[in-house]
Structure 1
Amino acid sequence: MIADDERVVRDGLRMIIETQRDMSVVGTAGDGEQALRLALALRPDVLLLDVRMPGRGGLWTLTELSRRGATEAGTTNTLMLTTFDMDEYVDEALARGASGFLLKSASYEELVGAVRAAARGEGALSPRVARRIIDGYVADQLGQSDNGAERQRLNGLTPRELEILHLLGKGFNNAEIARQLVVSEHTVKSHVSRLLAKTGCRDRGQAAVLARQTLPDPRGRE
């Protein structure tokens, strides 16, 4: 389902999504209140929800969906859409139960990949948004942790696991990592599970922060 106040955006997103054999658009909405009513009635697998709409915006809609249990696991996964990547929108959306956050400038591949990831119950952030979040966490933690001690957590990782950890740090999802390394998504998931166990990271987010703290930047900066 698509909720955006601009018809041209709704039509464009519908056109992209319906080119995929495994996807269909069950409904569209032009404001937050209509989006809430339709989402509760249709229970879509994925809701593309614009942050800023006239009247009730997407954050209000997301809050109401969450309050009514419509964003719990196995229900509707919500991807927030916006023209802006302002930190307060990202923080608010994720805090209110969004599955991901995409800029409207995202590429065709990013959009389709994010919808598929959300449908599987995985988080999906555009690379720009993911990098900003990770950089923010790293900035907060560098003054609190010993970088040398953090590097010791990488002991025992195989070269392939280090490659994947580096790509996690860049905000890549499983499908993007699989394409980058020319392996299957199943293989990537197995490597991610092992590297999380070896490094003691609770989830992919923590692993991404660890990567940014400990692995060299490809431009020569750590």
Structure 2
Amino acid sequence: MIKVLLADDQELIRESLGFVLNAQSDITIVGMAKNGREAIELVRSEKPDVVLMDIRMPEVDGVECTRLIKSAHPNIKVIVLTTFDDDEYVFNALRFGASGYLLKGVSVADLTNAVREVVRGGSIIAPDVASKALQMFARMAKGNLTIGVDEKQTEDLQDNEWRIIREVGAGLSNKEIAAALCLSEGTVRNYLSSILSKLDLRDRTQLAIWAVQTGVAGRPFGGPQ
């Protein structure tokens, strides 16, 4: 059973999301928070698998919440709920380890699939804003956030792993990568797990930033040249 914590300052949204998610046979809501402070307290007591978090909340916003939660509980996944005008907030939430973001108003199927996907180790970027994700990764790569990978760590990467790194850097989801490379989503997830282990990176976001910083994301093949 996947344990989910909801954090949103709007009661209607909390109740609606709770109703939808509790209706799933493999998902249960373990808490609802109306602000960031409550979210942090509930994370400590309930130990959810996933936090579905509004990016703009009183007392402690979703960005700071993400930072605090991921620092104390790195295995807990955070999905940010956002709107089109929240680019800077999302940018910072991804820096602090959010597994992705969804637009408010997402379909029930996309919401529930997102929860399951991050638990499996994937990341979620709403299709409508995939191009924004690439822009964010590029901004991170040009900023003061440097992802260090020793050249020796890349020597054992396989051809398909280089191809997957390239696609992650371009902002593609696991499903899109699977389709592009004629692989199953499970195989893509396995490759990603292997890549993160070989490069000693925390998550997909760090991998994407590294891919942009090193130019892998822009290469026709994706491997070293």
Compared CA separation, residues 179 and 26, structure 1 to 2 (3 A): farther
> Which runs of 5 or more residues in structure 1 are unaligned?
142-155, 216-222
Opposite residue 64 of structure 1, the aligned amino acid is L
Q: How does 1:18-57 map to 2 (within 5 A)?
A: 18-57=22-61
| 1:72 maps to which of 63, 66, 74 | 74
Deviation at 1:129, TM superposition (A): 3.8
Opposite residue 213 of structure 1, the aligned amino acid is G
Compared CA separation, residues 85 and 124, structure 1 to 2 (3 A): farther
Compute the TM-score of the two structures, normalised by the length of structure 1: 0.65
Deviation at 1:11, TM superposition (A): 1.7
| 1:14 maps to which of 6, 12, 18 | 18
Query: C-alpha separation between the residues in 2 aligned to 1:14 and 1:113?
Result: 15
Partner of 2:208: 205
Opposite residue 97 of structure 2, the aligned amino acid is G
Q: How does 1:166-185 map to 2 (within 5 A)?
A: 171-175=171-175, 184-185=184-185
Opposite residue 120 of structure 2, the aligned amino acid is R
Q: How does 1:40-189 map to 2 (within 5 A)?
A: 40-67=44-71, 69=72, 71-73=73-75, 76-135=76-135, 137=137, 171-175=171-175, 184-189=184-189
Query: C-alpha separation between the residues in 1 aligned to 2:135 and 2:83?
Result: 21
Q: 4+ residue stretches of structure 1 with deviation over 3 A?
A: 135-141, 164-172, 175-184, 187-194, 206-215
Deviation at 1:182, TM superposition (A): 8.8
Contact 1:3 1:31 in 2 (8 A): yes
Query: C-alpha separation between the residues in 1 aligned to 2:210 and 2:66?
Result: 27
Deviation at 1:103, TM superposition (A): 1.5
Contact 1:83 1:105 in 2 (8 A): no
Compute the TM-score of the two structures, normalised by the length of structure 2: 0.65
Compared CA separation, residues 110 and 214, structure 1 to 2 (3 A): farther
Which structure has the larger Rg over C-alpha atoms? Answer: 1
Residues 91-138 of structure 1: CA distance to partner in whole angstroms, max 9, x if unpaired?
210122222222213333332222112212332222344321314556
Q: Which moved more, 1:126-135 or 1:202-211?
A: 202-211
Q: Which has the higher contact order (CA 8 A, sep 6+)?
A: 2
Query: C-alpha separation between the residues in 1 aligned to 2:68 and 2:54?
Result: 15
Compared CA separation, residues 7 and 65, structure 1 to 2 (3 A): same
Query: C-alpha separation between the residues in 1 aligned to 2:56 and 2:44?
Result: 20
> Which runs of 5 or more residues in structure 2 are unaligned?
143-157, 221-225
